[in-house]
Amino acid sequence: MASEIRVDKINSLSGVGTVTLSPTGVDIAGITTAATLRATTGIVTSLTAGSLTSLGAVSGTTGTFSAAVSGTTGTFTGDVDIADKIIHTGDTNTAIRFPEADTVTFETAGNEQVRIDNDVQMFVQGASRVSKLQLHREDVSIDADDVVGQITFTGRDSGGAGIQRVGAAISAVASNNWDTSQTTGYSATHLDFYTQAQQSAYSTLTPRLRIDSSGRLLIGTTTEGFATYGEDLTLATSAHTGITIRSGTSSRGSIYFSDGTSGDAEYQGYIQYNHSDGRLVFGTTGTERIRIDGSGNVGIGINAPTAASSETALHIYANEYPEVHLTSSVTGSNAGDGSIFTLNNDSSTIIRNQENSYIRFDTNGSNERMRILAAGGLTFNGDTAAANALDDYEEGTFTPNIQGTGANNAKTYVKQLGKYTKIGNQVHCEFNLAWNSYSSNDTGDAIVNGLPFTIDGNIQTGAAMGSLATNNCDYPGSGQVTAAWEGGNGQNYAYVLVSYDANAWQNPAASSFWGGSGNVRGQVSYRVQ
């Protein structure tokens, strides 16, 4: 048989502490010490205890717990003071901690993952995994141009009491419709960066930069550039557009074109400016090709361009044949067809390449001074007739000899010199012949043979074409004798002419012309055949 004791209150021996029993619970007042206090139902309004295990509600305006507090439900209508951390039930290595003043941290797996301090700083860190802050949108579907996630940078005007303004934002935006019920495939997404030039409403936030779904970088535009080669980076504005590379006063600013491998291939092509000496260089296949030095001299194929004078120069260097090649897509014979060099910033001083026709040189108001014809030859001062063109110039030597037109006996020459100048079809020859012996007299008319070009056969026989001086040569007749020349009429020799007292010219017989030794010197001009 069960026994039962019924009381309303239990007083301590000193009367300071009491335990009051009521139908709704147990009220403990005064100084109470207990290792464990378990309340199965009811409300505990004030408690100081080493441990409290509650299967019901814990409620109160003020409470201090020096040990663990656990239960299925708890409501604190006032402040809760926690010395160190809040621990998740059944997961002792997951907690919210307050390690120092004005600092809160979040821990998982016993490691700090997020920290927020009084400097308005938030630290996200990871141990075995990459640190990340994830913005997630949970929707049945997402349409094109919907914002999937956004980081916004804001402030308020009027000392923090006014309208909230948006200064900048980073948004992840869907590029096409996205049905989240799909098991595979997602919408392409681009990342947009926004700023604003002045305080204004959010609606005026302007996109400045986009990284599209293909990884292309677009600045000042949402449309990529040249589709074949220039779409990876596109810069666009309604005014001037540029890229600035800022370096130190003795440093270099460079743009490199790499094939993505190592070594020299990392800078196969490059553009580089050196602030120390003011040079700009262009390189291909890892080698400098063009240099503009600090004085403005341009070197192609050479890294030390030099000027022939104090003026700025273009210096082209090659191992064999440096070449400047000008081409034009325009064909025809009009004045604008071909290529033009204008000299010294003077539109009237021109070197003109007329389309497959001629090269023309103009001065003083585009007046033609010289022309190189397509078939060759030079014309001057506006004369364009091919028949009047100067088409040849040369200088050279030849070996003359003197002989008869009949028998030509052996001679011993001590001098046998000849030089010529040919301009167009006109030849001028100078020679000096000297001999000291011969086997016997030659026969026939005396001639000088071995001229460098054949005499025009249309030249009239008997025409004098030069002058002659002789020494130790015999002449027929008597009186003062003057010597001259006569063309060989289609031959490469000229006749020796002598003049008698009557000033009549004739060809001396070779047998009467020779002395024991002789010397003939002279000059002759003729037209080539």
The predicted model gives 171-183 an average pLDDT of: 74
Report d(CA 39, CA 296) in Å as an integer.
94
Phi, psi dihedrals of residue 251, rounded to the nearest 5°:
-105, -175
Q: Which pLDDT score, from 0 to 100, does residue 344 have?
A: 65
**Interstrand relation of 233-235 and 217-219 (parallel, antiparallel or unpaired):** parallel
Q: Is the pLDDT of residue 179 over 70?
A: no
Q: Is the pLDDT of residue 32 over 80?
A: no
- Nearest in space to 216 (alpha carbons), one of 201, 203, 229, 207: 229
Report d(CA 412, CA 426) in Å as an integer.
32
Whether this prediction's pTM lies above 0.85 is answered by no
Token match 């009467």: residue?
512
Residue type, 70: S
Q: Which pLDDT score, from 0 to 100, does residue 489 have?
A: 65
- Who contacts 230 (Cβ-Cβ below 8 Å, separation ≥6)? none
**Residue 36 corresponds to which tokens in the numbers above?**
């464990």
Q: Is the pLDDT of residue 47 over 70?
A: no
More confident residue, 386 or 6: 386
The predicted model gives 337-351 an average pLDDT of: 71
- Who contacts 325 (Cβ-Cβ below 8 Å, separation ≥6)? none
Q: Evaluate the CA torsion angle 292, 293, 299, 300 in order and state its sign.
A: negative
Beta bridge partners of 495: 447, 486
- The share of the chain scoring above pLDDT 70, in percent, equals 73
- Who contacts 460 (Cβ-Cβ below 8 Å, separation ≥6)? 487
Kindly indicate the confidence band of residue 419, based on its pLDDT and cuts at 50, 70 and 90. Answer: very high
Q: What is the pLDDT of residues 216-266, one digit of tens each?
A: 888 888 888 777 778 888 888 888 888 899 999 999 999 998 887 777 777
Q: What is the pLDDT of residues 81-123, one digit of tens each?
A: 777 888 887 788 899 988 888 889 888 888 888 888 887 777 7
Beta bridge partners of 449: 401
Q: Is the pLDDT of residue 414 over 90?
A: yes
Q: Which pLDDT score, from 0 to 100, does residue 241 have?
A: 87
Under 8 Å between Cβ of 312 and 292: no
Q: Which pLDDT score, from 0 to 100, does residue 506 have?
A: 74
Residue type, 500: Y
**For 246-277, b where at least 16 C-beta lie within 10 A, e where not — what string?**
eeeeeeeeeeeeeeeeeeeeebbbbebbbeee
Q: Which pLDDT score, from 0 to 100, does residue 423 have?
A: 93
Q: Which pLDDT score, from 0 to 100, does residue 61 have?
A: 44
Q: Please give the torsion angle defined by the CA atoms of residues 299, 301, 303 and 308, in that order, rounded to the nearest 10 degrees.
A: -40
Q: Is the pLDDT of residue 196 over 60?
A: yes
How many CA within 13 A on the CB side of residue 331? 1
Q: Which pLDDT score, from 0 to 100, does residue 508 have?
A: 79
Q: What are the structural domain ranges in the chain?
A: 1-81, 141-235, 252-316, 338-391, 394-527
Q: Is the pLDDT of residue 430 over 80?
A: yes
Q: What is the pLDDT of residues 267-277, one digit of tens each?
A: 789 999 999 99
- Nearest in space to 374 (alpha carbons), one of 386, 361, 392, 357: 357
Distance (Å) of CA 181 to CA 176, 346, 373: 15, 74, 80
**Interstrand relation of 189-195 and 178-179 (parallel, antiparallel or unpaired):** unpaired
Q: Is the pLDDT of residue 484 over 50?
A: yes
The predicted model gives 158-173 an average pLDDT of: 74
Report d(CA 15, CA 9) in Å as an integer.
11
Q: What is the pLDDT of residues 292-332, one digit of tens each?
A: 999 889 999 988 888 767 777 888 888 887 877 777 777 66
CA end-to-end distance (rounded Å), the chain: 162
Most confident of 418-422, 446-450, 486-490: 418-422
Q: Is the pLDDT of residue 135 over 90?
A: no
**Interstrand relation of 367-373 and 298-300 (parallel, antiparallel or unpaired):** unpaired
Mean pLDDT of the chain: 78
Q: Which pLDDT score, from 0 to 100, does residue 515 have?
A: 77
**How far is residue 71 CA from its own chain's centroid?**
72
Report d(CA 236, CA 485) in Å as an integer.
84
The predicted model gives 334-361 an average pLDDT of: 72
More confident residue, 194 or 337: 194
- Who contacts 8 (Cβ-Cβ below 8 Å, separation ≥6)? 20, 21, 22
